[in-house]
Structure 1
Amino acid sequence: MELQRRAAVVGIGVSNLALIRYLVHKGVSVTACDRRSAAELGERAAELHRLGVRLVTGEGYLAPLADHDLIFLTPGMPKHLPEIEAARRRGAVISGEIGLVLDLCRAPVIGVTGSAGKTTTTTLIGEILRASAREIHVGGNIGTPLIEKVEAIPPEAVVVLELSSFQLQLVRRSPHIAVITNISPNHLDVHATMEEYVEAKKGIFRCQSPADWLVLNADDPLVRSFADEARSRVVLFSRRGDPGGRDAAFIRDGQLVWRRGGQELPTLLVEELRLPGLHNQENVLAAMAACYLAGAPLSAVREVLTRFTGVEHRIEPVRVLDGVKWYNDSKATSPTEAVAALSTLPAPIVLIAGGSDKGIRFDPIAPLVKEKVKCLILTGPTAPKIEEAVRRGGYTGPVHRAADMAEAVALARAAAVSGDTVLLSPACASFDAYRNFEERGRHFKSLVEALQ
């Protein structure tokens, strides 16, 4: 992508603020656009002023797009707004921070996407390659934005990116190694249709060449079908058995196996993994395949997989109090992710769920709620939808409504007895009450740690 003299940047979040600093450093005249007022933006608005950036806020914040030919969008905004469509029709280049990172990066890139498991898989890949004595930079949807340092990353390093559907909608280049963990309905409050969501995910391999690699979950029929569209070399992974092919990662007779060019390399036993849950076996296989393709030795793969216990906010143990185990799964922002936690942890469970609405049905959690949940505590705007879904699925246990997280934790404390598990697994985004799932999870943990 060729930088122009002027650019409009829409949405002043963390990644776009870093992008604006980069553009200003390159001599680009930037107009920053945000629906929030300067007062609401606070220190971010002050920094833009110091950088000499024009700031347009309020209802007409998209008006500057009409006279800009280079436009960068914040990932989570709808891409089909009239002002954006008009800019696209007249030939404006519309991109995002990640699109520019991919254009500028000289090092090979491993990209990870999916509806669930992205963060765990991305983190595992970074840890394994770091244990291989490689220079590693992890970013994208996690960590710090890479745009301000991407030009200093040497060709011999490796960049690992967690990529959301929002980010992939705006890319014109695909990673050298692309990983898709799974796909289920998600973000339908922003994507116009499920078809649009799936097409966005395909952006991770759409621009690959025959020299690139695509790692696909063979146990997900939709994901496996992408192999028919790929121009790159395909590697399948499966926790259910050998998926076939000369190149694959799979579990056979309790052992994780890597096959490359028909030659098999037994890596470790399933019982040696520290990560709990069947879903994490899939994440481990995906990471293992990507790392072997990137040249990681068996020793590094084994070292990390036998010590890695998980990421913050994903089935994270908080404490044991009076015989009750408390878990923080705030990163479960969709029903699919909540299903993974409910499948992993033992009954009886006191479940705290609910939050902001992403336009997804909650029926997938109903069977496990019926089977394992003794008490359901719901918060946020989605509470009625969740209760309706689980009742429809046959759940007959008590349902309580909590005004906020503090009340939810208090209700859970009252409902749980020794031997129970209390699980925060919202199955929803956090934006009704928090800036992000991290803030929600840390608030939950602080409340739990404060219990006497």
Structure 2
Amino acid sequence: MNNSLTILSDFIKNKSIVLLGFGKEGQSTYRFIRSYFPQMHICIADGNEAIGEHGLLKCDDNISFELGEDFLNNIAEFDIVFKSPGISFKNYIVPLNQIISSQTELFFRLYSSQIIGVTGTKGKSTTVSLLYHILSKLGKDTLLIGNIGTPALDVTHLIKEKTILVYELSSHQLEFVSASPHISILLNLYQEHLDHYSSYHDYRFAKWNISKFQNVNDTFIYCSDDEQIAEDMKLQKINAKSLCYGFNNKSYISYYNNKLIVNGEKPKEFDIKEFKLLGEHNIYNLMAVLLACSSLGLDIEECLHASYSFNGLPHRIEFVATKKGIKFYNDSIATIPQATIKAIESIDDVDTLILGGFDRAIDYSVLVEYLTSFRPLNLLLVGKVGDSLFDALDKSNYKGKLIKLNSFNDIISKAIEYTAIGKSCLLSPAASSYDSFKNFEERGDKYKALINTI
């Protein structure tokens, strides 16, 4: 009996199980359990009633379903719930003896000693992709998994003893875990996903599970400049070796006076002009990656050199094109005010800013204050958040132009109308896309498509 089967068997033996959610991760969990236990009874619970006809399940006689809008009302009887990340437990009271697990929890049980886990409100995908890029460049056997797109249990057949598992972790994936990665990185903490959680506190402390179950042989990496992390650390018991990074001269890795300094030693050779990612926030991401690499015993300067060939990810301060003398940038990933502020500060000549989208009850006062004190911009405002920002900025006597739009399709024509030649137009919405789009990628792709019609 191999190790995976032993651990899985010990966990679910003689227990009733339900897979809660049958999207990408739920299907992955189903395939993994079925590969070891083809006869075990599994219940699938999902809000989508069409799941009952899913091709993956058609030949499975050991399946039952709880489908439709009341699917959460019928899962209390099960011993173990394998919860998918997109399912909110905001209004679900977990029975006393019920175990809430997940694909992440199961994967941690199997491979925690090989995992570098990365979480934070913003920067996760860029950080894990940069880390994966550097490790691959240096010839390491590594896999990129998790919230970035590849379900962790889909790659178990590729994992060897020395494989490094770079795992992007959302708060939803971390919410109910009882183990942590060997190397954990917490990038930052801001208000986000308040539609999913009962409070900002609950959201933050789901993130903190990335370090909660580490021991003295593990490593915890965090940003010393993040005020919320600093505040929360007063309440945390950190068992792992802690390493911090920041724009100061006190962190283990510091970017200070335009120099990259490691543990107070001679500055490392770092050519910021060769590093292709824009913005100070990406220097933070780089420092987190370098600490992870250093924890693996890798040479920092070799890692820096490898980082220069990383081109970044779509929808993250992505230069799209110059049209009619205007430079267009796509930062659709920016779904919170702090991300939008960082994007503005990363591009010197922003003249027009596109804001707004789905309202998730986030506090926008920090953005209103920032924009009011910043030089006047042309603000194209869409969606419910756009309406709220219009009212707040108007009351603040905003000196720039406030233009409310009824349709996302109108943004490029208005951008051309208002943006000065030679200047930049930036899509950095500070809001979710769910009012009009499936996700931020679809919103960014739509923006780019509109630009390319010019």
Normalised to the residue count of structure 1, the TM-score between the two structures is 0.90
Contact persistence 1:216–1:224 (CA under 8 A): no
Q: Distance in 2 between matches of 1:191 and 1:213?
A: 28
SS class of match (2:154): coil
Q: Residue 237 of structure 1 corresponds to which residue in structure 2?
A: 245
Q: Residue 356 of structure 1 corresponds to which residue in structure 2?
A: 358
Q: Residue 254 of structure 1 corresponds to which residue in structure 2?
A: 258
1:181-192 aligned within 5 A: 181-192=187-198
Query: More displaced, 28-37 or 422-431?
Result: 28-37
Which of 176, 180, 185 aligns to 2:182? It is 176
Q: Residue 199 in 1 paired to residue 205 in 2?
A: yes
Q: Residue 336 of structure 1 corresponds to which residue in structure 2?
A: 338
SS class of match (2:208): helix
Q: Structure 1 residues 50, 428: closer, same or farther in 2, change over 3 A? A: farther
Q: Residue 25 in 1 paired to residue 35 in 2?
A: yes
1:121 is displaced (CA, Å) by 1.2
Q: Residue 413 of structure 2 corresponds to which residue in structure 1?
A: 410
Which of 33, 54, 68 aligns to 2:78? It is 68
Q: Structure 1 residues 51, 383: closer, same or farther in 2, change over 3 A? A: farther
1:406-445 deviation digits (Å, cap 9, x = unpaired): 1222322322231221111111111112221111111211
Q: CA RMSD in A?
A: 2.2
Q: Residue 135 of structure 2 corresponds to which residue in structure 1?
A: 129
Q: Structure 1 residues 51, 441: closer, same or farther in 2, change over 3 A? A: farther
Q: Distance in 1 between matches of 2:286 and 2:395?
A: 35
1:95-244 aligned within 5 A: 95-105=101-111, 108-150=114-156, 152-225=158-231, 226=233, 229-239=237-247, 241-244=248-251
Contact persistence 2:112–2:180 (CA under 8 A): no
Q: Structure 1 residues 324, 24: closer, same or farther in 2, change over 3 A? A: same
Q: Residue 289 of structure 2 corresponds to which residue in structure 1?
A: 287
Contact persistence 2:112–2:182 (CA under 8 A): no
Q: Residue 388 of structure 2 corresponds to which residue in structure 1?
A: 385
Contact persistence 2:76–2:98 (CA under 8 A): no
Contact persistence 1:354–1:426 (CA under 8 A): yes
Q: Distance in 2 between matches of 1:373 and 1:431?
A: 29
Contact persistence 1:48–1:54 (CA under 8 A): no
Contact persistence 2:344–2:350 (CA under 8 A): no
Could you tell me which runs of 5 or more consecutive residues in structure 1 were left unpaired when the two chains were aligned: none
1:72-121 deviation digits (Å, cap 9, x = unpaired): 11213322423xx243x1x1211122111111226511111111111111
Q: Distance in 2 between matches of 1:170 and 1:279?
A: 29
Query: More displaced, 53-62 or 177-186?
Result: 53-62
1:373 is displaced (CA, Å) by 5.1
Q: Distance in 2 between matches of 1:107 and 1:86?
A: 29
Q: Distance in 2 between matches of 1:207 and 1:12?
A: 28
Which of 414, 429, 440 aligns to 2:432? It is 429
1:378 is displaced (CA, Å) by 1.8
Q: Residue 318 of structure 1 corresponds to which residue in structure 2?
A: 320
Contact persistence 2:268–2:301 (CA under 8 A): no
Q: State the AA in 2 paired with 1:208.
A: Q
Q: Residue 49 of structure 2 corresponds to which residue in structure 1?
A: 37
Q: State the AA in 2 paired with 1:58.
A: G
Q: State the AA in 2 paired with 1:167.
A: Q
Identity of aligned residues (%): 27
Contact persistence 1:256–1:270 (CA under 8 A): no
1:372 is displaced (CA, Å) by 4.2
Could you tell me which runs of 5 or more consecutive residues in structure 2 were left unpaired when the two chains were aligned: 1-7
1:217-244 deviation digits (Å, cap 9, x = unpaired): 11113323527621111111012x2225
1:284 is displaced (CA, Å) by 1.0
Q: Structure 1 residues 431, 382: closer, same or farther in 2, change over 3 A? A: same
Q: Residue 369 of structure 1 corresponds to which residue in structure 2?
A: 371
SS class of match (2:238): coil
Q: State the AA in 2 paired with 1:110.
A: I
Q: Residue 3 of structure 1 corresponds to which residue in structure 2?
A: 12
Q: Distance in 2 between matches of 1:36 and 1:161?
A: 28
Contact persistence 1:112–1:180 (CA under 8 A): yes
SS class of match (2:12): coil
1:255 is displaced (CA, Å) by 1.7
Q: State the AA in 2 paired with 1:201.
A: K
Q: State the AA in 2 paired with 1:289.
A: L
Q: Structure 1 residues 417, 136: closer, same or farther in 2, change over 3 A? A: same
Q: State the AA in 1 paired with 2:440.
A: F
Q: Residue 94 of structure 1 corresponds to which residue in structure 2?
A: 100
Q: Residue 58 of structure 2 corresponds to which residue in structure 1?
A: 49
Q: Distance in 1 between matches of 2:413 and 2:133?
A: 37
Q: Structure 1 residues 150, 64: closer, same or farther in 2, change over 3 A? A: farther
Which of 420, 445, 448 aligns to 2:448? It is 445
Q: Distance in 1 between matches of 2:391 and 2:66?
A: 42
Q: Structure 1 residues 188, 348: closer, same or farther in 2, change over 3 A? A: same
Query: More displaced, 434-443 or 45-54?
Result: 45-54
Q: Distance in 2 between matches of 1:405 and 1:127?
A: 35
1:264 is displaced (CA, Å) by 5.6
Q: Structure 1 residues 392, 77: closer, same or farther in 2, change over 3 A? A: farther
